[in-house]
Amino acid sequence: MLKLEDYKVVFVSAGLIGLLLLASPVLSLAIHLPGGGEEFSELWILGPGRMADAYPFNVTGNVNYLIYVGVGNHMGSSKYYAVYVKFRNQTDSLSNATSGVPSSLGQLYGYKVFLQDGQEWSAPLTFSFSNVSSLGGQLVVGGLAINGATYSVNKPSSWDAEYNGFYYQLLIELWIYDAQNDLLRFHDRFVGLWLNVTAPQ
């Protein structure tokens, strides 16, 4: 037969278990257990309305265009990132996330971002082309301005008969600080925005 003391132990035990069950969602936010989930980073671009639509595509020289670039940290701890903007034509090298190799193109512009775990960051990226000229089956972009900084690119593109245009790509790569080697390394994330460029009339 159970005594009053035994009932107290049962009720206190049940109460503590209930309290732990109720508190577990809050504790999971404060405590990160190894192997508790996949660790990853996000990289994205959004259109001028901060939505996944209305991206610039048919663009011309001497006109400003706007997109947004963003990063999300789900690595389980604070991370330091670099976001590099590159400019390529159809034949320039592309990043390879499978083999962990970035594009061999030099970076034109960059953002440096420190994010806590679970934090996101985004920033505007404005761009425009200058000294755009076409001759025969080629178009050459002489200059590219990103967020007000102008770069000489002198990048040719051949006419793409299948898709009817001169195509270029804004290539955006995500790099992460490697504390063990004290350097930034390609983080196997990249996005690109294809652009059909025409010379101003």
pLDDT at 1: 53
Confidence (pTM) = 0.81
Under-50 pLDDT residues of the chain: 2, 4, 6-7, 10-11, 16, 19-34
Quick count: other Cβ atoms within 10 Å of Cβ 152? Answer: 11
pLDDT tens digit string along 87-140? Answer: 999 999 999 999 999 999 999 999 999 999 999 999 999 999 999 999 888 999
Residues 173 and 120 in one domain: yes
Q: Same domain, yes or no, for 110 and 185? A: yes
Same domain, yes or no, for 137 and 47? yes
Q: Domains in the chain: how many in total?
A: 2
- 156, 140 Cβ separation under 8 angstroms: yes
Structure tokens at 146: 């990103």
How far is it, in rounded angstroms, from Cα 127 to Cα 138?
22
Q: Are residues 60 and 127 in the same domain?
A: yes
Cβ-Cβ contacts under 8 Å for 81 (sequence gap 6 or more): 41, 71, 73, 112, 113, 114, 115, 174, 175, 176, 177, 187
The predicted structure's pLDDT at residue 136: 80
Range of the domain at 86: 40-198
CATH number of the domain enclosing 131: 2.60.40.10
